[in-house]
Structure formats: C-alpha cells, structure tokens
Structure 1
C-alpha cells in the first residue's frame, strides 16, 4: 500500500481508502453486517488503514460497522474519516431528499450545518465510532442556510477541544473551499471524480494544487459502472439508488463497455482487473491524493487495495485519457 500526506499536514491516508457508504446498506438495497466487517478487516490486511464513513449512511449503521471492524486494531493504526451536515432526525436547513431507511420507513434528509447541530453530530459520531477523536471531519454537502463562517468556526472549536484532528469539506467548489479556509485549515475536499466525471479538472484541481490542499475522490468506479461487470439490461436490487441514475441506462452501459473493452488488453497484460486499472489511473491524476473505493465483501475490498500494485507509464496514462476524451455519455 502507498500512503500520502493530506494537504500540508502530518495526516497520512492510504491511497486506496475504504469508502463505507455501501457498508451501511442505505440506498444500496441493504447489506450484510458480517460481510462489511470482513471487507474492512481484509482490506486492512492489505494496508488500507483509512476508512471514510458518515452518519447518514444507514442512519448510524455504517459508523457502528466501522467501529466493530476496527475494534481489533490500535486506534493510532487506523484513520477514521466521517462527516456532518445531513440530518434525518431534525427538520432544519434545506430538504436534501426524501428517502427510506434500511427498514423501509420514510425519512426526510436535510442539509444543515449550524453550530449546535455540528457539536451534537460530532458527539454522536464519536459514540458510534467508539473513539475519542476523529482524524478528518468533513461537511457532507454545502448548507446554504448557515454561513460558512459559523460552520467552520464550530469545527475549529472541535479541533481545539481535541475531538477532531483535521477539517475537510465535501462537494465544495473552489470558492467555497477558499472561504471556509479563512476560518479553519481546510486540508481536503472530497468530491466525485471518475473517468466519466471529470468536471473538477477545470477549476477545483488548479485551485487545490496552488493552495496545497488535497482531493479525496469518491465514486472513482462510478458506483460500479467502470468495473466492466454491468451490461445493458442490468437489474438492480430493490432500494438501490443506481436504478434511476443516468450512468446506468442501457445506452450508457453499452458506450461505457465499448470503452472498457479497449482497456481489457492492457489490464490483461498487467494481470489486473479493469477496476484495478481504473483505480490506478484515478490516483495518478493531478491533485487526486486519495481514491475512496467501496466494497460490500472481502473479495471486492482486497481487489481494490491491490490496485496500488499496478504501474502506469506516461504513455499508458495518456492512451487511457485519449480514449476517455472520445467517450460521450447521454443524460
């Protein structure tokens, strides 16, 4: 495994970080707790010491699963990354979505990052994670109802209190990261980035490179699209959010698979899977410090971790990027 420093700090994360959204089951058609715990532990055996979770993932389930998985390790040997700012138990801020919990009950999810809410969320996360500090604490989505100053000053207080080591953001644009950094040292921005979603290259990537910050790329496999395992006509389990996402319509599945087929010879030559090749390409891109890779079982998590064993030459990297520039998906 490789490890990289986040921003200009001493916090080092594994280049492949375990993304625990699917582990919580929410919006993924459920999950098996034992499988998720096993996936995290097997990835740790491969050197994946960093785990990203959030309270909203299963409404606490994901954080509790992470706590169970890492309970067998020394706390200083793992890096726990979680989030705040999405409440399903408080109708305040702006309505983000109507959803269902893992028991099929209706829930309304709100984006809210007021000071008192952040303090409560942090205490709840510490309890669920069974720890007394969080390595990297991130706002999950921008909250337009709360001034960024109020939000970030609350996190700065948590850092001062020793409950949080470092502050990050998620889904912020360059201007928002710059504003937030006035009130607390923002070391990273966690944003969606994949071979088929590269819009951050225009503005955010140049900004973080100049500012000495890091990007944590989530959904680098575009929620399984880039694994090469989905074909036109693929059927999702009930409750799986991907069923209504445009990436997964039959036309885009066909176009994506045509692209992936052109990569198969390279993957075969390197004795790797398509997913591993995709992950390696991702962490080779400018400003992409970490790639978050989710897994619902040990086999997936081990394969994700082994992506770091691949190497890509400049010519191979350029070849892949050239193919991508010709790939157009329809919305």
Structure 2
C-alpha cells in the first residue's frame, strides 16, 4: 500500500481508502453485517488504514459497523473520515434544503441538507458514539446547504477543532467559490468529489485551484458505483430497490461496454481485474490524493487493496486515455 499526505494537514492516508457507502445498505438493496465487518478487517489486514463513511450511509448503520470492526484495532493506526449535514430523522424540523427521497426498504425517507451550527455539533456527538471513538481524523460537510451561511457552519467546525474532536476539516461536493468562502474561517484540508473515467469535470477548474491551494482531492465513485467493474454487462442483476437501476441510465451503456472491452486486454496482460486497472488509473491522475473504493465482502476488499501492487507505464496510460476519449 502507498500512503499520501492529505493536502495541508498532517494526515497520512492510504491511497486506496475504504468507502463505506454501500455497507450502509440504504439505496443499495440492503447489507450483510458479517460480510461488511469482514470486509473492513480484510482491508486493514492488507494495508488500507483509512475508512470513509457518513451518518447518512444506512442511517447510522455504516458508522456503527465500522465502530464495531475497529474496536480491537490500534486506533492511532486507523484514520476515520466521516461527514455531517444530511438529515433524515426529522430533527431539522423542516429546516434546511430538501435534497431527495431515499428508499429505505420500500419506505421513502426525505433527506435534507442541513448544516446549522447546532446540527453540526449534534451530528458529531452522534458519530463519535457510533464509531466508538473520541475523535475523528477528517470531518467533512457532506453537501453544501444553501439555507445556512457557510460562516455559521464553519463556526461549529472551529469549536470542534478547539475541543480536539476533529484533527482536520474537509468539504465535499464544494465548488471553488464555496471553498474560498469556507477558507475565510477554517483551513480546508480536502474536497471529496465525484471523479472517474466517465466523469472528469473537476479537471477543468477545481483541480488547478486545489493544487494551487494545497488542498487534497478525495475521489469518490471512481468505479461509477460498480458500472466500471463490467459485471453489469455480464450476468449481474440489480435488486429492484437498488438506486443504480436509475443511476446507470445516465450513461451511454454501449460505449461504456466498449470501453471495458478495450481495457480488458490490458488488464488480462497484467493479470489484474478491470476494477484494479480502473482504480490504479484514478490514483495516478493529477491532483488526486486518495481514492475511495467500496467493498461488501472480504474478497472485494482484498482486491481493492492489491490495486497498489502494480504500476502503469506511460504507454499503458496513453492506451487507457485513448480508450476513455472515445466515450462521449
């Protein structure tokens, strides 16, 4: 495994970071607790020291399982990244910015972006309890909340830093202007944003800005929620309440299938999986600090960790980039 310093912080994180969205189950057609905890243990055993989660993932379940999984580990050797600002339990009393309705076992649950000072403090106390720890290595705002001034949200962050409950602070899904506003109050360590072979928008404005400001980029959805594994084009069937039934519809699936077929030849020659090839390519892109990779069982976790066991030559990267350029 390779470890990288995150932005302007002192955090040293594993380049492949365990992404814990799917194990929460919500929007992913459920989860298996035993498999999920095994996947976390397998990740740690193979050098993945960093785990990224959020209260929204499984409405607290993801954080709870992580807390259970790491309680036997040396806490100083595991970096916990979590978030705040998505409310599902009605505690916002109708305040905040309505986001969408999440499917929770057939029940529609309204989700709000809400980052008032009071709510931030409340959420962090709940996360600390679920994670069974007294500090969070990197706290992140999950999504911008247009109903709360950024300065108010940052006041809460300042308090948490002073209390020693968080080591560093990052944003997620922020644009350049929003980062600049937040920086007036708090040092911004990182921005967690969507980035993949099929979604490279951040290369235009965000990456140049974060490089200049020494702000790390945490890439999420590098596999486009499993689409780039290629399984979807074989015999993999999604359950009815899996959000990816709709999510995959935004892509030209025939072009994606062709891309995977082109990359398969290179993956085969290197004795690696398509998933590993896609993840490794992502880790090598300019401005990308760490890459989130989800795993729902130990086998997937080990495969993700082994992504860093090989490299890609300049000619191999050229081959990959040419194949990507054909996808509109």
TM over 0.5: yes
Contact 1:43–1:302 (Cα < 8 Å) also in 2:
yes
Equivalent of residue 95 in structure 2, options 89, 92, 97 = 92
Structure 1: tracts of 5 or more residues without a match: none
Deviation at 1:253, TM superposition (A): 2.6
Distance between the aligned counterparts of 1:87 and 1:32, measured in 2? 24
SS in 2 for 1:95: strand
The residue number in structure 2 matching 1:127 is 129
SS in 2 for 1:38: helix
Distance between the aligned counterparts of 2:234 and 2:159, measured in 1? 50
SS in 2 for 1:48: coil
Q: What TM-score results when the alignment is normalised by the length of structure 1? A: 0.95
Counterparts of 1:1-331 in structure 2, within 5 Å, are 1-89=1-89, 90=91, 91-101=94-104, 103-231=105-233, 235-245=237-247, 247-248=248-249, 252-328=252-328
Deviation at 1:92, TM superposition (A): 1.7
Coordinate RMSD, CA, aligned: 1.4
Distance between the aligned counterparts of 2:102 and 2:223, measured in 1? 24
Distance between the aligned counterparts of 1:243 and 1:233, measured in 2? 15
Deviation at 1:289, TM superposition (A): 0.6
Deviation at 1:268, TM superposition (A): 1.3
1:94-137 deviations in whole A, cap 9, x for unaligned? Answer: 11111233x44332110000000000000000000010000000
Q: What TM-score results when the alignment is normalised by the length of structure 2? A: 0.96
Contact 2:26–2:102 (Cα < 8 Å) also in 1:
no
Structure 2: tracts of 5 or more residues without a match: none
Distance between the aligned counterparts of 1:305 and 1:130, measured in 2? 25
SS in 2 for 1:216: strand
Contact 2:64–2:130 (Cα < 8 Å) also in 1:
yes
Contact 1:231–1:254 (Cα < 8 Å) also in 2:
no
Deviation at 1:235, TM superposition (A): 3.5
SS in 2 for 1:278: helix
Question: How many correspondences in the alignment?
Answer: 325
Deviation at 1:189, TM superposition (A): 0.3
CA 233–268 in structure 1, closer or farther in 2 if over 3 Å, else same: closer
Distance between the aligned counterparts of 1:277 and 1:310, measured in 2? 9
Contact 1:19–1:293 (Cα < 8 Å) also in 2:
yes
Distance between the aligned counterparts of 1:224 and 1:303, measured in 2? 14
Contact 1:232–1:253 (Cα < 8 Å) also in 2:
no
Contact 2:263–2:323 (Cα < 8 Å) also in 1:
no
Contact 1:225–1:253 (Cα < 8 Å) also in 2:
no
